[in-house]
Structure formats: C-alpha cells, structure tokens
Structure 1
C-alpha cells in the first residue's frame, strides 16, 4: 500500500466485478493475504495521531489540570496515581460516544465523513434501536425524538462533569504509597443515571459507550469511592477500591480469553495479521496453510490464537489477580502491555485502538505500583479487607459473560466479553439493483459507494468503490460464520450474481451511525425499521443472519442462522456445523456448506434450485 494511495489491485475493478461472486471472493481473499483492506498508510497515521494525541495525551493533560498529584510534564506521575485510571476511563467513554474512538474512520466503514455516532444521535428522525421496546414502557418505536436527543446531550454532559471536576485527596493510604486522589464519588452519579436510561431508549448508544467496560469502574468509584473519601475512612478502604478496579479489568481479559476457546478464533488471526501495515509479506503468508491456494489457518496461526492469544489472555491476568510478589506482578503487567501493543499494531477492522492503549497502560498503573515503597501483597486480593463486597463485585462482573455464553441471543457480544473472538452474531445483505441507492432516503444516510467517490485526497471511481466494499464481504468470508452466511445466500437466491452484496456491519454503520461487530444491531429489527420507511418488495433485500455460537468450546454445539426478507420478515431458521465452515475455503469452491433447516415461514419457498434438484433433495444426499 502507498502513503496517499492504495496499492495496485490484482486486476482492474471492472474486470473483477464482471466475475461471478465465487471468483470475486477468491481474488479478493487471496489478495487480502498480503494487502489486507489496502487503505493508504496516511490513514494509519491518522489513527496513530488520534490514539496517542487525542486520547492519551489530551486525557493525561485533563488529568493533570484537575489533579494536584499528576503532572503532565512529569511522566513518572502518570503511572503511580490511581486517578489516571478513572480519568482516562471517563475520557475514553466520552470519545467512544462521540465517535472519535473505536468507530472512527474507514476501518469501521465511515469514509466521508469519518465521524458517525454523534452526527446521527443529535438529529431527530434517525433510527434508534430500543432493546426491549415491546416490554419497557415509554421506549417503543424506532424513530429518534427530541427527547432522545436531549437525553443524549445529558449523557455527554454527565461524562464531561467527572472529567473537569477537581480530584479529591484520599485521606489515608498504606505505608509506602504516594499521596493519592480520586474523582469525587458524586461526580459519577449523573452518568450512572442517564446512561441506563439512554440504553433503554437506544441500545446502540449504550453499547457504543462501551458501558460494559467503563460503567462498572464508575459504579464502584461512586460506591467505594464515597467510603474512601469520607472522614472516617482507613487505608484498607483505599486498598479494597484498588483491588476492585483490578477485578474489573481481569474479568474483561479472562472473559475475552475464554470466549476464544473453540473453532472460531483461529480464523480471526490470519486476516487480522494480513491487515497489519507493519508485518512483512512472508509472515502474513505464514499464517495460512498454503496461500493463495489454501487460506485455512496454519500451525503458526493456531499458536498465535491459542498460545500467544487465548492462553496469555487467561493465564497472565489470573496470575496478576492472585500474585503477591511485586517483581512477578510487574513482569505480568509488561506481558499484558506487549499483548495490547501487538493487537494495536494490526489495525483490526472496527479499530478498538484506544481501548487497547487504555488496557495496556492501566496494567502498568495497577500492578506497577503507587510509589517507591509499593508492595504487591498490599494490593493483592488476599488482602481484601471487607470480603462480603467481593460477592456483588464478581456477581455483576460475571453476569454478562456467563449469560452471554449460555444464551448469546439475549446478550450483546460486548457485555459477553467476546471482543474479537470470531464468535459473533453477523449478517450479509443481498440487494436487488437500485435498492442500495434507496437507502439514501433514510435520514442522514449516504451509502458508502457515494462516500468513497468523495474520498480525499484520492476519490474512488464507482467501480473501485464497489470493489472496496466487496472487500468487507471478502473479510467476512475469511471467518467461520461468513462461509455459513454465504452458503445460506447461495441456497436461497437464484439471482445472486446480479445482486449487490454487502457486509452487514458496514451497512449498520451507515444506517445507525455505529457498529462494533455486534450483529444484534442489524438483525430483523433494523430490517423492519428500514422496511417501514422504504416499503420494499419481497426479495428486494434479503439478509442471511447468524447468532453467536453458544458455549463454543462444546464442539457439537451448532451455530444458528436465519434468513430475513425485508418485506416478509424471518422466512427460514436453521443451523450449520462450525466444523464444516472452518474446513472450507472462503470462496466456497465445493459449494455451500450443509444447512440443517428447522423452520420455514408458512408458504415460503426458496428461490434457488441447483442443477434441477430441490433443496430437500440436496439435504437428503448429504
């Protein structure tokens, strides 16, 4: 890839687009091996500047302006004061809500402009997604109102408040700990009130804020922080608060590690490495069995997934939680920092870069020590003074991951702690000609084909823009669920070659302003909202959707899918075996993977029959 322009594509866009879908996928996936998404390096520079400048530097500057213990010009103070843990969490939550963190830019489907989120959420009339609209009073409907806009502005104000309020000194800290400060407990009350209310009106904003990551920090900062800052507190109260902060972070790490067990995650590693601008081509190819003919993961990819990835993400945090030796704690923190640096270097799609900066940095703060006399045993879980508090702490922290793995249909993959695990609810859209253009009739929506043709400094031609967007479908096909989704499309559509194929996550970003890999954002509820506004005909928009695999470490557990027609609703439900998906090439050279159909809408008949055989005939043959 070049600095201002992408690297040359494998063939002219017009020639590529003239190929059948299966051949287009083969060309794009084999090209992805070394080129990834093929965005200009200039965009990576933008991400780096945003990550270290806007987030880290400005966040530390805000901390130093409101703290008497942290000095922006003294880097040593950045790592020895717990106030940085709180302030940088609030600052990152604010950036996430605005759209200047994980959902920013082309790697998340925002081309022109690169900012989504706030542009949609301060405008009445855009689509909102209430999580329980039929069950919770006053949350029904899918159109943003003036009330929703006011509530969103209240969320922004509630996040600014703890940022700008002066830190309060901690009365008592253990011997050997430097003087500490905390954000006053009352400063967290507004966000703890308005964010859940916002979530009931629009789950998209609640999840975009990464509430599952940062609200627990704020909740316990309010509850235990009030105890620490009261007149009769002791040093033990401060120790308990720090340990709770550690538990919150460890649950995130371990939850993410556990979610990577199973057959999905190994398929995440090769395309992620391929998208890294810093990896040499030979190393990218080494993550595939025999690129370009066999793009299944290699043994190196298995090692990176299950040893350097899953094992590190589970074992090292557990060691950190249980360790009492300061040297071991510091080594573990450095390993975690290196882990997050590596993830950041790959510039993964959805770009959770600031999140990785925060978690790597906070590992050093929490386990590196609070002064020259720091002793890890002082802040170890074995030294927790009010043991009963651990029950609600662990209960709240583990509720989402446990329920989300047992019933993934009920919980977003974010509270389930399945970040980048490969086991995601996902979707692929198939539209008849002209339907994508009709999406521009939705409030504030401009389809990405049009956006790319306005990209600066190098606008794309229409064909080049189409090829760029088909790379997102190619990326999905390199993961396990993508092969199942495309199989469902092949089984359903006899006109698939004439249709516009799109990755559901990118479409969701265009319509709702945000998505971070959560297919729950663009399931049949979003499709119904689109249908209510556009009145599409049967077959105009067909969506293949799959749910996360429940308890993926059980090999026999199938993955559920459903097919949605915008005009008809859900028309088919069924399952596929993940092992069938991971055993195939991304372009499905052997045809669709077997689908086990469990339900069809009354009267619904699939469009597609292959070589004169019915779907039922093919299922019997298999």
Structure 2
C-alpha cells in the first residue's frame, strides 16, 4: 500500500467475488493477516492529525483560552482541575457529535466521514429504544422531540466548555482545596502548591442540564447514549457536579482515580476468556507503521502453512502484556502509598506503563478507532497519579468519608459483574468488554438483486458499497475492497459460528452479498462501536418497515456474547421479513479451534428452536456480479488510481 493509494486485494476482483464463500474467506483472512485493511497511509496520517492536531493541540488552546489561562505556560495549568474537567466534557461532546470514535474510513464511513449528528438531527431516521415499556419512549423513528433533546444536550456540554470556570471566591470547596495545597505539612509537590491560587473548576449548572438531557435522550435512543460514551464520561461528569458542591475537591480527584482504575481493571477482567488471543493478530495486522510483516505473520500459529489460529506470540501479547498488565499496573497505581513497594517511583513507573498501553492501542488503529478516548486516559493517568501523588493526600484511603470509595466503585462494578453474567441485558461498553474479543456481533447475507432495497431506508448516507463506488471504483473492485472487512471478522472467534450458520442454513450463500454488520449498521443509524445489540432483530425490523424485503432475501446471523465462562454462545438467525427464525448455540472451544474459512465444514451447532416458516423458503442461486459490472485487471485499476492521485497533486 502507498501513501495515496490503498492496497486492494491481490486478486482479480471479479474472479474473487465469484469464488465460493469458504475460498473467499481463506483468501481474505490471509490478506488481512498480512496487510490489514489496506487503507492508504494518508488515512492513518489523517487520523493522527485529527488526534494530535485538532483534539490535543486545538483542545488545549480552547480549554486554556476559555478558562483565561496562558496556553504557552503549560507548567502553570497542567494540574489545574478545570483543564481535565473540560478535557472530559470536550471529548464527550465530540463523541456525541460523531467526530471522535467510530469516525472515518476505518469505521466504514467513506463519505461522509461521520454519521452521528447527520443522523440524529433528522426526524424520521431510525432510533433504537432500550426500554419500550417506559411510557413515551417507544417507536422506531426519530421525532422532533428527539432532535430537540439531542441538541439541548450538545448545547449544554458546549456551554460548560466555553464558560470560564468557578473561582475560590465563588466556591468554598475550592477555597478549602487551595488551603490544603498551600499547607507544607501535607507534602504537596511544588507544581501543585505554587499554582494553587489560579486553580478553577468547571461551571456545574450546564452540566446538570447535560446529565438530565442525556438520560432523557438515552431512554428514547440508546444509540446516542452509548455514542456519547456515557459509560466512560457520565460518571466523571457527575463527580464534577457532586463533589465540589457537596463534599471536597480532593474527593473528586480521588474518585476520578478510582474510576480510571476500575475501567482498566474491568477491561482486564473481560480479557480472561478463550476469545481474546484471537483479537491480537488481526489487530496488529492493521497497524500501518509497525510491526514488520514477518512479525505480524508470527502472531499466527503457522501463517505460511495456512494455520491462522493465534500462536504463542499472540498469547503472550494478549494475556501477559494485555490481561496481566491491565490488572496489576492500575491497582499498583491506586494502592501504593508512601514508601511501600518503592512509593511514588513505583506508581510513576506503573502509570507510564499504562500510558504506553494506551499508545500501543492508538498505534494499531483499531476498527472502531477509539483514539481520543485512549489519549484522554493516558493524559488523565499522568495528571491524577503523577500530578496528584497518593502520598500527598490523594490516595484511595484519603477520601473525607470512609464509604465514598465503595460508592464510587459500586456502579461500574455492578455493570461489569452483571454484564458479564447477563451480556444480553447490559451493553458490552457499559460492562467494559471493549477489547476482550467476547462480543455480540452479526453478519448480513443479502440476495444480490435485493440489496438495492436498503436504499428505501431514510438516512443521510448510502451503503458502504455505494460510498466506495462514489469514490470512482467500479463495482467488482469496490466489492472486493469492502469484503476485506469479512477477512477481519473471520479472524475472530464469533465468525466461525456465524459463517457456519450461513453454510448450514442458507443454501445459496455462495451467491449472496455478505456484509459485516458493524459496518452496515453504521450506514443505518450513524454509529457503531462493536456493539452487536445495535444491529439485532430490533434494527432489522426497523429496516424492514421501509425496505420491505421478501422472505429469504435478507438473512442475518447474530450471536450474543458468551456469558461469564459458560463455554457457549447463543445465536439467532433472523429473516428481515419473518423475524427470528432459529435459535441455538455453539461451543466456544469449537469456534476458537477452527480455521477462519472452516475447511472442516461448519462447527457443531445446537438448534434450540426453529420456525416452520423458514423451512418453506426457496433459495435460488444468482450471480453475485451484476450485468453492468466492468471487468478491468487489478493492475490497471491501481495504475489508474495512482495516475489520478499524481494528476491531482
């Protein structure tokens, strides 16, 4: 792949998309395992510019100037409470608009680059109500009320971001905090004590409105609630409101420390499963600047001999550098106080280890691209655990009331435990399972003559295949490039069950267009972050209201996350016209033991219920390449694309 030109699959595109599904999967999984998505390097540079230029530098200027601080004198404000408060609020605002995570080509948004606000500002677009039994929250289409609540939430966050902060003269708790920092007996570092008089806190009135509006928005549409990354930012915003007004500023800082550690430890706990090792090879394969290809291939068991299960190196990355580090380093940061175990030096080293952990994730450009979130956590780790040392009165044991640490940890801990036991009831985001590999997910299988019916669904964007073709690629090459997402999915454990379900239950599967549901969902509701509950039968029913597929035209294989160490996953087969037509399960150990392209056939599936209507369907094989497809050798297409780029420059 070049700077301007992506790397297309190394095969004739029309021949590739005519291959039977299993042969296609073998090719695509090996392509991804060696090259990743193949996006042009300028895409990665665009993400890095957006992250470090717009979010970091632009955000620092915005935050300091609106708080009447000197942006050039970093030493005077890097520990000022209003800085990290506004950093959290700004990031939540960007997430809620749709220009932070799940943005751009790596999230399946080729044009326009965002979904978010383009969808959520339009009455008539699809919304997903989490609790339809709550009065006035039902319906599958967004209304003017939904748009009003959403923009009210954005306006409240924006107001808090742009208003100057509260001073000690306005807030007694901040005055007491400044006095605490100024007292030499407390052993506060000089970088805190010498700047304490200029410390400010964010205005809480607009934040109160933001929290209320977010809850109302969330009751009507879980998409926006989760897109705002409420599981990461809502509780800290509540801390910003509650602690300075009801308790002490030191309590707020300690509470944020505890929350940060809870997120990391919860994520580390979620990695203790059979799935996580399979995440590492495709994750590293998509890394554009490192590691070298030979090292990417070494993460598989035997890449050159077609064994694409995770190898020893992947297990080391996942459970030593991943699980163990993410469990032990944050706990060290939180509980080492004074001279115990090396004191602050140990805390600092553990903090820098977690900063490196965040930068490692950034370097891999994960498909949901949570880059701002990782950089935010890296910065907050430095501010909270180095800027506010445990030994200076900021340890978990120093809160003003002994019950406070338990209250802070209660909500995330309950969500982690309950969400792990009942993943069908709690979003994997709220139960902190983002990277664990144990996800609810799905694949779509659409009859090629029927896919155009998706155009009937009201939304501000087109399907990914149309977006790619709008960039100038002919259909066969656009289809081949989009199917790289299937190569990515096939390298994860769930795909072995989903593809098995298609091979077993959809006789004409070789002739259907297979779509990665996370990508496809982005084109329907404007957001996805790997959350399979966004595209279960509720979304399919909402699509069907306008698309009006015939029975058998649009079939979805959907699977729930594995409940905590149960050893199996529950699946659903969904027909857009008929609803759920089959339920069953497969064993996780069968899925992780198989190759991505299922050379031994479908893994064993246990059917627990089946609709008789599904057995009546007639499947007819149809050529997947339309009659208007233009055959053109891959080399000519790449040369033409490179020539166009050169002429543009």
Normalised by the shorter chain, which TM-score bucket?
over 0.9
Provide the C-alpha distance between the structure 2 equivalents of 1:57 and 1:606, rounded to a whole number of angstroms: 60
The partner residue of 2:452 within 431, 437, 442 is 437
The equivalent residue for 1:67 is: 67
Give the drift of 1:602: 4.3
8 Å contact from structure 1 (residues 185, 225) kept in 2? no
In structure 1, C-alpha distance between the alignment counterparts of 2:506 and 2:4, rounded to whole Å: 39
Contact in 2 for aligned 1:79/1:364 (Cα 8 Å): no
Check if 1:268 corresponds to 2:272: no
Counterpart of 1:568 (choices 578, 593, 603) is 578
Aligned CA distance change for structure 1 residues 78 and 500 (closer, same or farther; 3 Å): farther
SS of 2:391's equivalent?
coil
User: Where does residue 411 of structure 1 map in the other structure?
Assistant: 426
Q: How many pairs does the alignment contain?
A: 590
Residue 222, structure 1, aligned to residue 241, structure 2? yes
1:139 to 137, 140, 145: 137
Q: Is residue 255 of structure 2 the alignment partner of residue 244 of structure 1?
A: yes
Per the TM alignment, residue 590 of structure 1 is displaced from its structure 2 partner at its CA by: 0.7
- List aligned pairs for 1:130-169, cutoff 5 A: 130-133=129-132, 135-169=133-167
Q: How does 1:461-500 map to 2 (within 5 A)?
A: 461-500=474-513
How many angstroms does 1:607 deviate by?
6.5
Instruction: Tell me what 1:124 maps to.
Output: 123
1:288 maps onto 2:292 in alignment: no
Q: Displacement of 1:396 after TM fit?
A: 1.7
Task: Determine if contact 1:155/1:191 at 8 Å carries over to the other structure.
Answer: yes
Q: Is the 8 A contact 2:13 2:480 kept in 1?
A: yes
Tell me which stretches of 4 or more aligned residues in structure 1 moved more than 6 Å: 606-609
- Contact map agreement 1:436 1:447 (CA 8 A) in 2: no
Deviation digits for residues 35-56 of structure 1 (CA, Å, limit 9, x no counterpart): 1000000111110011112211
User: Is the deviation greater in 428-437 or in 164-173?
Assistant: 164-173
Whether 1:259 and 2:270 are equivalent positions in the alignment is: yes
Aligned in 2, Cα 1:335/1:71: closer, same or farther, shift over 3 Å? farther
> For 1:180-219, what aligned pairs fall within 5 Å after superposition?
180-219=199-238
Q: What is the aligned counterpart of 2:530 among 517, 521, 531?
A: 517
Matches within 5 A, 1:365-404: 365-370=383-388, 376-404=391-419
Larger CA deviation: 348-357 vs 82-91: 82-91
Q: For 2:403, what is the secondary structure of its paired residue?
A: helix
| Closer/same/farther in 2, CA of residues 66 and 387 from structure 1, 3 Å limit | farther
Q: Measure the CA separation in 2 of the matches of 1:26 and 1:329.
A: 46
Q: Secondary structure at the match of 1:354?
A: helix
Alignment match of 2:541 (pick from 522, 528, 531): 528
**Native 8 Å contact 1:269 1:301 kept in 2:** yes
Deviation, 1:82, is: 2.6
Tell me which residue corresponds to 1:452.
Answer: 468
Q: Is the 8 A contact 2:126 2:542 kept in 1?
A: yes
Task: Give CA-to-partner distance per residue, 1:357-398, whole Å, 9 cap, x none.
Answer: 10111100001124xxx5635101122221122332221221
For the 8 Å contact 2:97–2:116, the answer to whether it is kept is yes
Of the two structures, which has the highest relative contact order with CA contacts closer than 8 Å and spacing of 6 or more? 2
Q: Distance in 2 between matches of 1:315 and 1:84?
A: 28
Match of 2:568 in 1: 558
Structure 2 distance, partners of 1:7, 1:606, is 43
Q: Is the 8 A contact 1:105 1:111 kept in 2?
A: yes
Q: Does 1:335 align with 2:358?
A: no
Mean Cα deviation higher: 39-48 or 54-63:
54-63
Query: Does residue 60 of structure 2 align to residue 79 of structure 1?
Result: no
Any gaps of 5 or more consecutive residues in structure 2?
Answer: 168-173, 338-342, 620-649
- d(CA) in 2 for partners of 1:45, 1:438: 36
Alignment TM-score, normalising by the size of structure 2: 0.89
**Contact in 2 for aligned 1:508/1:515 (Cα 8 Å):** yes
Compute the displacement of 1:81 (Å): 2.3
Give the conservation status (yes or no) of the 8 Å contact 1:82–1:366.
no
Aligned partner of 1:113 in structure 2 is: 112
Cα separation, 2, equivalents of 1:323 and 1:101: 34
Q: Secondary structure at the match of 1:383?
A: coil
Contact kept? 1:96, 1:208, Cα under 8 Å: yes
TM-score, normalised on structure 1?
0.92
Output the CA distance in 1 between the equivalents of 2:618 and 2:31. Answer: 30
- Residues 442 and 557 of structure 2 are in contact (CA less than 8 Å); yes or no, is this contact kept in structure 1? yes
Q: Is the contact between residue 493 and residue 606 of structure 1 (CA under 8 Å) also seen in structure 2?
A: no
Aligned residue for 1:323?
A: 336
Q: Indicate the SS of the match to 2:615.
A: coil
CA contact (8 A) 2:581 2:610 kept: yes
Give the deviation of 1:435 after TM superposition.
2.2
* Residue 632 of structure 2: aligned partner: none
Question: Partner residue of 2:87?
Answer: 88
What is the CA-CA distance between 1:185 and the residue it aligns to? 2.8
Residue 608 of structure 1 and its aligned partner are, at CA, apart by 10
Match of 1:355 among 350, 367, 373: 373
Following the alignment from structure 1 to structure 2, what is the Cα–Cα distance between the partners of residues 529 and 398? 33
Q: Distance in 2 between matches of 1:34 and 1:183?
A: 47
How is 1:1-40 mapped onto 2 (pairs within 5 angstroms)? 1-40=1-40
CA distance in 1, matches of 2:81, 2:281: 37
Q: Is the alpha carbon distance of 1:100 and 1:603 closer, same or farther for their aligned partners in structure 2, counting shifts above 3 Å?
A: closer
> 1:324-365: CA deviations, max 9, x gaps?
122222111111100000110010101001111101111000
Residues 82-102 of structure 1: per-residue CA shift (max 9 Å, x gap): 322211111111111111111
Indicate the SS of the match to 1:95: helix
CA 541–61 in structure 1, closer or farther in 2 if over 3 Å, else same: same
Instruction: Specify the SS of the correspondent of 1:270.
Output: helix
